[in-house]
Amino acid sequence: MNTSPKILIVGGVAGGASAATRARRMNEKARIIMLEKDSYVSFANCGLPYHLGGVIQDRAKLLVAKPEMFKKRFDIEVRVRHEALSIDRTKKSVRIRDHVAGTEYDESYDKLILAPGAAPLIPDVPGVRAQGVHSLRNIEDMDRILAQLPAVKQVAVVGAGFIGLEVAEQLKERGLDVTLIEKVGQVLPPLDAEMSEPLRRELLRQGIRLISGAGFTAIREKAGKATGVVLENGVTVEADLVILGLGVRPYNQLAVAAGLGVGATGGILTDEYQRTADQDIYAVGDAAEYLIGTTGQRGRIPLAGIANRTGRLVGEHAATGKSAKAPAAWGTAIIKVFGLGAGIAGDSLKSALKRGVQARAVHITANHHAGYYPGAKSLTLKLVYEAGTGRILGAQAVGAAGIDKRLDVVASFLHFGGTVRDLAQVDLAYAPPFGSAKDPLHMAAFAAMNDLDGLAPIIQPDADLTSYQVVDLRDADECAELKLIGAEHAHNIPLNTLRGRLGELDKSKPTAVVCHSGLRAHVGTRLLREHGFNAVNVSGATYVRDLALRRPMDITPAAASCGSVKACGAPVALATDSHDELHPLNVMAEAGAGALLLDVRSPAEFRSGRVQGAVNLPLENVTDLNVRALLAGNNQKTVVLLCASGGRARVAAKKLSASGLKTLVVQGGTNSCQQAGLPIDKDAGGMISIERQVRIAAGTMVFTGVMLGTFVHPGFYGLSGFVGCGLIFAGVTDWCGMGLLLARAPWNR
């Protein structure tokens, strides 16, 4: 080994910069030269979206180390705007272009480290080079986007992976109108669908339009400037700024031309020390392949963490001829999306099953620290493990707090090959402000062990329950609040009464047990199995089943046919009337785009609780003229109609059917909006809802008719019959005369 090697490094960000500084610390005699074809080295590329959004206000903080610092502190020569063009392995030299001077020259090396990174995927479609179409890879990309932002009104982000979600969030935080487009049917595709669903709902709740299941075919442009994104179905998403977040491809051209070889994923082929086919040439970072922990094969993991860690080892090996072997990469990653965090370590269930692994999974929903300590936030954890051995394969987590440390613990178990039985015994830190005596990780491990040991076998939350005898252990109010999808035949037997009501169940039938989040279901499953039932526990219970199965559409059929996108999110077909249905989670997106939120309930109901930003116009006053007066100065001419549950809003839509206005009826009305977590404003002294007043009035009239018919004259039974017929008519037609009459009552004005 040459004790004073000349080490040439191509690429000056994560992997290259780590290699350079480690090489210097290990060998003071080495000559180290780092080339970077862009203008900046060692910058925090993961922080770029947060400077766009203004969270990181000081641009200089993104520049981790400047060329001057590398020279003064480490005696490393950094050459920016110098691009490596080719490698001559025989002469051990690299052809370099100096973009500043406009010249080319050759630079020799003893050891060469390739860390050129990756380039954003830019599909070859019409208009993709138009002004206003950007990717976000480096400081220059960020600067170009920032320069355009003052003139931007509508943004389309294409791709809902990590970068796409971060950019969409940050630009929405700046107050821009953002549409997020994802070709696959979910956001954050590395996660299993039910684990990404909370992110989807959070995006909609925050007012981002979301279009999933639709790729794009072109960028619409006018005079060379982008004006929209054309989807596969011909719909155009209006946008004057388009951000492409479709993933990356490795810069492997140097390696290919030099005969070093690339793998199936396009990364440069490497050995356990990250050496290429040429033992004097190394490769690290997004352009290189690593040992992938989940598969045992080599492939690419374009993440900064593994690039930094392996860069350090490569720098040591190049400078001294020895180092530890490069670690396996497990793909641990995490993201913040408004009020939620989500992440993954290792395998998802779908990726493990796709490879043919006999994988199983459990879901746990729990507080991130002791529930009795103030500030506890809910998180959902999914633990994936191998059937039989219990070897941990991966985990996913989503929640408002505490998911990072759970993923980090699982990543450690993956690194050391731990099992769910090991996880169940690990000694985790506990105090009420930080965790619980039984951490969610412990609970997941316990559930996995019970599944493996046959004590409480698990079925997945999206399982078909039609062939099962289903036992729902929730209380009646819980069942009313959250429906158990696909199990209308379920027996509702609260857990505390289960032991005394076993006679209502059939032991010969396979039995699926659910509660809200899983804890009671485990107790119930054990009780039933002890009494001879073939009972299984539905993983994650009703809450996760809802995430797995209730994913509303993003674009209504009518919206797709009109040539422009209104992401209405209707989970059902359009009504035969002229209005469209709007899912509650999309209300704020429409409001953010300028739509009028019009609440047609009585003033008293409106005061008692309304969606933030809504204005009140009682149903009897809804006319074309009155609504247009409220729309004065609003070019959108879109009206989002709300009442308590939807009936009066549909009547209002019919009244406006000839107005030429676009009307959207919110499904489930204000009640559903409140359940969906939308911001609700209230005034003191609000009255109870018209629906409740109708129930009170109808019940009073029926009771009065029965009493008078019994004790005064049988003819009074007709009053009860009349009210009953009226209620049937209201249910069938969605028109309630009693409700309209009560809305005009003095106390409701």
Longest CA–CA span in the chain (Å) reads 114
- Amino acid type, 392: I
> Which SS3 state, helix, strand or coil, does residue 261 take?
coil
Return the beta strands (E) in 56-140 as ranges. Answer: 77-80, 82-88, 93-98, 103-108, 111-114, 118-120, 133-134
The CA distance from 468 to 486, in Å, is 11
Question: Residues 6 or more apart from 710 whose CB is under 8 A from it?
Answer: none
The CA distance from 157 to 229, in Å, is 9
> Which SS3 state, helix, strand or coil, does residue 15 take?
helix
Q: What count of Cα atoms within 13 Å lies in the side-chain half-sphere of residue 310?
A: 33
Angle between helices 403-416 and 440-452 (to 10 degrees): 50
* Nearest by Cα to 192 from 202, 204, 200, 183: 200
- Amino acid type, 12: G
Q: 225: how many CB neighbours lie within 10 A of its CB?
A: 14
> Which SS3 state, helix, strand or coil, does residue 565 take?
coil
**Paired sense of beta strands 6-10 and 31-36, if any:** parallel
The CA distance from 448 to 600, in Å, is 50
Tokens of 317: 């090996």
Considering only CA atoms, give the Rg of the chain.
Answer: 31
- Amino acid type, 299: G
Helix ranges (DSSP H) in 109-258: 139-148, 162-173, 193-205, 253-257
> Which SS3 state, helix, strand or coil, does residue 227 take?
strand
Q: Tell me the CA distances in angstroms from 246 to 133, 139, 183, 301, one per residue in order.
A: 13, 18, 10, 15
Tokens of 98: 């100096």
CA 213 centroid distance within chain: 15
The CA distance from 652 to 664, in Å, is 10
The CA distance from 276 to 156, in Å, is 40
* Nearest by Cα to 667 from 569, 592, 743, 598: 569
The CA distance from 384 to 74, in Å, is 44
The CA distance from 492 to 477, in Å, is 11
The CA distance from 550 to 585, in Å, is 13
| Catalytically active residues, by annotation | 46
DSSP track, 500-545: GGGGGS-TTS-EEEE-SSSHHHHHHHHHHHHTT--EEEETTHHHHH
* Nearest by Cα to 185 from 44, 350, 301: 350
First to last CA, the chain: 90
- Amino acid type, 116: P
> Environment class of residue 66 by beta-carbon count within 10 Å: exposed (0-12), middle (13-18) or buried (19+)?
middle
393 near 357, Cβ under 8 Å?
yes
The CA distance from 298 to 281, in Å, is 18
